[in-house]
Structure formats: C-alpha cells, structure tokens
Amino acid sequence: MGITKNRHHNSTLKALTGAALLIFSMTANTGTFGQELTTERVASGFAIPVLVTAPTDDPDRIFIVEQGGLIRIADRSGNGVYPDPFLDISDRVRSGGERGLLGLAFHPDYDNTGYLFVNYTNSSGATTVARFSVSANNPDLADPASEKILLTVSQPYSNHNGGNIVFGPDGYLYIGMGDGGSGNDPGNRAQNPLEFLGKILRIDVDNGDPYGIPADNPFVNDPGTLDEIWAIGVRNPWRWSFDRETGDLWIGDVGQSAREELDFQPADSPGGENYGWRCMEGFRCTGLDGCNCNGPELTLPIYDYTHAGGRCSVTGGYVYRGPSIPLLAGTYFFADYCAADIWSFRYDGSQMSEFTDRTVELDPGNGQAIDFIPSFGEDGLGELYIVDIEGEVYRLKTTLELETNTLTAGQNGIFRARGAAANTMVYFVYSLTGTGRTTVPPLGVDLALASPQLVGQKQADASGTAVLVKLVPGIAQGKTVWLQAAVDGNSSNVITTVID
C-alpha cells in the first residue's frame, strides 16, 4: 500500500495493522525530490565573532570566538548566551584588521584532557598557537593562567595570518599559515620550504615538548624542508575543515585580487601537496615566479570563482554530517565573505555535482540578514552554523521543523511540526530501521527514513503548526526510533530517540 492523492491534493493514507509501532506501510522508491532549508538565529550580541565550534559530541553548547580575545558559550538550541566568557585572553591578543584571536580547536579527547588550543596574534604581531586547560571545577570556564605556548611564528606584515587550527582524524593538530602578507607574497614565502608561512603544518600535541613531529609527515628527515610542513603553496588558508566521516580535507584559500579557490585533499593523501601560490591564483597564472604554473608538481583547485558581484574572499566551510538533515549528508557548504553568497555541492574526489546557490534559500528573513560571513562552524553533533561578523550565529535547519516530548512506552507522545502552510495536512512518520531515502511521488517529497511507517496525520492550524497526540505502544520500550514529518513538497528534520 502506498500514498495516493486526489485532484484536490488531499492525500489518503491507509493504515495497516501491525506489531509494535508498525502503524502504516509505505512503498519506498528511489527519487530526488528536494527539501526546503533556511537558517535560524541561535545567538547574537557578540563582538566581531570569527568562529563557532564545539568539543566532539557536546550535546548542548557552542563556543563562539571573538576576534578581540574572548571565547563565549551559547546554548546550541537558541536558549541564550552564557553570561561569563569561557576564556578571556584579550590582555595578550593584538586585534584589528586580520589580527586577533582567530582559531580554536578542542582536543579529540577533551572530556579527559580538558585541553583546548587557540591561534592568536600576540602583542608583537606574531602568530601564537597555545594550549589552555578547562577549569577542574567548572566546565564552562577555562583557565587563562594555564597557557602553554606551542609555536610562535613572526609575521612580516599585518595581513594573511591564516588562523585556523583543526584536529585531523589522525589526532594531530593542523595549523593554517598565511604567506606573511602584503600583496603577491613579496618574499615568495609560500614556496620556501624553510619557512612556516604559506603552509599547512601538522604537529603532535600529545608527545614532545612543546610538541612532537608525526613520523609520517611528508618531509621528515628532509634537510631542505621543515619537518612540521604538511602542504605548501597556500596564500591565506583562512577557513578549512576535515569531513568528519571521510577524513577528506577541504581548504578555502583566499585569493589576491582576481580568484578565490577551494582545494581538496583526499583522506588517503600522504601530504606534501603544493597548491601553487604564488605562481597560481585559483586556475589563473599570475605571472609571478616561485613555481611553474600548471606544472605537474602542483595540486590544482577543484573550484575557483572571480570577484564579480562584490565578492572578495572565500570562506571555506564544512561537509554536512549532522543527524538532523540526513538527505544533506555529503554536501559541502562554503561562502564569500563580502557578498555573503552561500553555495553547496557534492564532490566524489573527481567530479562535482548538485552545485547550488543557497543564498536566497538560507536568508533567515523576519527582518534578519546574514551580511558578512567570516566562518561556518559545526557543533558537537555535526550540525552546521553560519557566523555573521556583525555579531550573530545562525543554524542551518529545515523550514518544516519537527519536535516531540520525551517518548515513553504506554504514554501519549506529542508530535509537533512547525513551518507548514496554513491548513495543510502534515504526515508524521517513523522508522525502526534508520535513515535512508524514500520517495513519495504523490507528495513530491523525499523522506530521509528507511522503510517509513505512518504515526498519523494532522491538519496544520492558521500559524502552520500541527500537533498530533498518539499513544506509544508498550511493546516499543527500549527501541530506537527515527521520526520525521512531511507535507506536500517538503519534509522536516529527523529526530532519533530511544523510547523510555
């Protein structure tokens, strides 16, 4: 039995008798119907926020980095900003222009080590990578006196500081270094193997003092190249990330005056790539020396774009891997800082597909706007956020949003969907199998559930909200269930829960 729809677009759902929660059976097909997305402001009031991140698996908090030297905590669900800073090192940060507190990374075993790492510009203008410790008595407070400096790199100019630091899937800390600044890399530092500038570095923070060199770094024991170097030939790798599922590395490298580029390093790479700056800017030959334009030793970008339309600086993003929107899994998001254009696409290592301009779709509306995008971010669960440097943080979400009470066997479950059109029918479905893609042609929608079954249906009220109350069978206790709502042409987020 499947879903049928009459000429008035009223869907008829036929319930089937079954055990446990098997209330409704739906025919599964393969399809490509879309899902409507938007953004929702979850925190505001920050002073020049440049990054949002969180420890892995943290279910409640996001950490917002302010350029002036503060790290603040906000509730990831939009329930407010904590009153006290998590860390305040403004007394040692030189901020302004492209300088400041620029990066934050939590140790992969943060729950046990309590270590966090930052990248900031010190009072002399040098890049500083340092470790701090969380308070033993307060998980919402780090100790500014616990600083251990791991690395200091002099900067010849005030711009192109890079600033991003990220732990890779291998547990090592990767550090993005700009080329030292000015314009056109006057010292050809990005191609100089005896300088850190214009490189991606890789260090071991769990061994050595102040750090160790991973034995498989590509230039270990090469006297002509610094051991810490993982890749060379970047101009200003401002924001970049690892795909938390595959381990692939995605680099947004800010261009000079003509092109912005995205670089890709597959997870199985041994390192050592040369991304071509300063002889190349994106796919463009600059005419500058230092390397051979389009030479076989260079790793070319997977994408570049011009400064047309007021664009000026690429903001590298993330591959979406959050649990709420499974149909987006594997989609890479990135933006332009000045134009606030947002795009997404999929990439299989050789071919790009589903390239989409998301700018209008992700406009939050309601009198709000995303104006300048210095960074994307992930929370501890992998949900995606967008930072507006004017003080706001937005969360990527579906326009149709599902929420439930705590589901308990033998008691009523309350299923609430918001964001439907007024007076339209909303269908609430579940799966005991997990996520997948199931197309429902009469509704023109893809569900993100495998073998979905119907919980029930309810007409939305004038505000677009539908509330269904349904008894949870006693036999469902202890079962994991995946839940979703759908309307004609659109589907909601997915909730995964265990029945009490």
What's the pLDDT tens digit per position in 391-430?
999 999 999 999 999 999 999 999 999 999 999 999 999 9
Parent domain of 392:
37-398
Question: In this structure, are 120 and 133 located in the same domain?
Answer: yes
Question: In this structure, are 385 and 487 located in the same domain?
Answer: no
Question: In this structure, are 476 and 406 located in the same domain?
Answer: yes
Number of domains present in the structure of the chain: 2
Select from 378, 398, 418 the last residue of a domain.
398
- Find the mean pLDDT for residues 117-135: 98
Quick one: pLDDT at residue 442? 85
Question: In this structure, are 215 and 304 located in the same domain?
Answer: yes
Q: What is the CATH number of the domain that holds 240?
A: 2.120.10.30
Quick one: pLDDT at residue 16? 24
Residue 414 is encoded by which pair of tokens? 């309350």
pTM: 0.93
pLDDT-above-70 percentage for the chain: 93
Q: What is the CATH number of the domain that holds 478?
A: 2.60.40.10
Residue with tokens 């594997």: 330
Q: What is the band of 32 on the pLDDT scale with cuts at 50, 70, 90? A: low
pLDDT in tens, 299-352: 999 999 999 999 999 999 999 999 999 999 999 999 999 999 999 999 999 999
Select from 369, 398, 427 the last residue of a domain.
398
Question: In this structure, are 295 and 374 located in the same domain?
Answer: yes
Answer yes or no: are the C-beta atoms of 299 and 274 closer than 8 Å. Answer: yes
Question: In this structure, are 375 and 479 located in the same domain?
Answer: no
Question: In this structure, are 333 and 288 located in the same domain?
Answer: yes
Select from 349, 378, 398 the last residue of a domain.
398
Taking 60 as the threshold, does the pLDDT of residue 14 lie above it?
A: no
pLDDT in tens, 270-295: 999 999 999 999 999 999 999 999 99
